[in-house]
Amino acid sequence: MAWRSSGATNAELVENLWRNKLITQPLVKSAFLKVDRAHYAPSMAYEDSPQPIGHHATISAPHMHAHAVETLLPFLLPNPDNGHQSTADSAASVIGQAGRPRRVLDIGSGSGYLTHVLAELAGETGVVVGLEHIPALRDLGERNVGKSAEGRALLASGRVRFRVGDGRKGWEEPSPGDAQPGVGGAAAPDVAREHERKDEAGGWDAIHVGAAAAVLHEDLVRQLRCPGRMFIPVAAESSSEQYIWTVDKDEHGGVKKKKLFGVRYVPLTDAPK
Ligand code: SAH
């Protein structure tokens, strides 16, 4: 695919991904047009192939970013307020709980490119967290997002956040509306109600994993909201092959796993010493 979708500019690359049906949803196309890959890939930014970003990591190929976003899209778009009207006219469907702001986790955020694209789709109330186990790559993602005025606004508002942690365990991040402990001088909260509220506010509508997992980590499945979807490359048990899996959790907590297609990602590992 590399030779078919590459372009000389960001717009040409996105147009080629569209022509080759790797991007099929207009909202995905406009999000890709808003984010210039040159801010994220140190070389050959508009080639449809992975590029090294240091620390043995790569920015994934544009067609893989496209597959990931298209797959997660119904769980990224802002939920309609009343459950009847979609705020995203051209989206086939939006899956989530009415009115609830989106929360998206991008594990192995690397260059930060996909974290930025995901935030464009999650809308003004959404929060996207990029998680890296290498602090220098956490910083790289944040620096890259900060190269555009739009990106700086996303960082300043907290709609995009970069964190350091082991992605195999997932991540717990407070919601934007959550009070900071010790701030505001409020009376001691009713502990049970506080806990209930956090449960309601926590978890992830969508989890993207940008490195190949050895197993389908249960902690990640647990952190999916009901409903929610994960896009994750997983290494096969008995060969060197890797496959993209989706894990869907329905509104009752039922889990369905589906194997999609073969891929080649860097592994999800222990952090280097
Ligand atoms: N989505 C990124 C992909 C970067 S490559 C992009 O397109 O730019 C995969 C990334 O996963 C690397 O940056 C690597 O540091 C990170 N990674 C590997 N194991 C990890 C772990 N256990 N926890 C968090 N990040 C991890």
CA distances in angstroms from 243 to 28, 131, 183, 262, listed in the order given: 23, 21, 45, 4
Residue 255 in this model has a pLDDT that exceeds 60: yes
Tell me: cis bond preceding 227? Omega within 30 of 0 counts.
Answer: yes
Cα 36 from Cα 47, distance rounded (Å): 13
Q: Which of 5, 6, 49, 60 is catalytic?
A: 60
Query: Considering the entire predicted model, what is its pTM?
Result: 0.91
How many angstroms separate the alpha carbon of residue 106 from the centre of ligand 1? 9
pLDDT of the residue at 177: 53
- Specify the residue for token string 């409903």: 227
144 CB less than 6 Å from ligand 1? no
pLDDT, tens digit (0-9, with 9 covering 90-100), for 112-131? 999 999 999 999 999 999 99
Determine which residue's CA is closest to atom 10 belonging to ligand 1.
Answer: 108
All domains in the chain, ordered by first residue: 60-81+95-263 (3.40.50.150)
CA distance 58 to 262: 18
Look at residue 165 in the predicted model and tell me its pLDDT.
98
Residue 249 φ then ψ, to 5°: -110, 130
Does residue 210 line the site of ligand 1, with CB under 6 A?
Answer: yes
Q: Are the C-beta atoms of residues 70 and 25 closer than 8 Å to each other?
A: yes
Nearest residue by C-alpha to atom 26 in ligand 1:
108
Q: Give the range among 54-68, 88-102, 158-172, 220-234 with minimum mean pLDDT.
A: 88-102
Confidence of residue 43 (pLDDT cuts 50, 70, 90): very high
* Helices vs. strands in the chain: H and E counts, helices first: 9, 9
Tell me the per-residue pLDDT of 18-37, one tens digit each, with 9 for 90 and over.
Answer: 999 999 999 999 999 999 99
Q: What is the pLDDT of residues 77-107, one digit of tens each?
A: 999 886 555 555 545 689 999 999 999 999 9
Question: Angle at CA 26, nearest 5°, toward 87 and 128?
Answer: 60
Pairing state of beta strands 242-249 and 255-263? antiparallel
Higher-confidence position of 254 and 196: 254
Tell me the pLDDT tens digit for each residue of 167-185.
Answer: 999 999 876 555 443 333 3
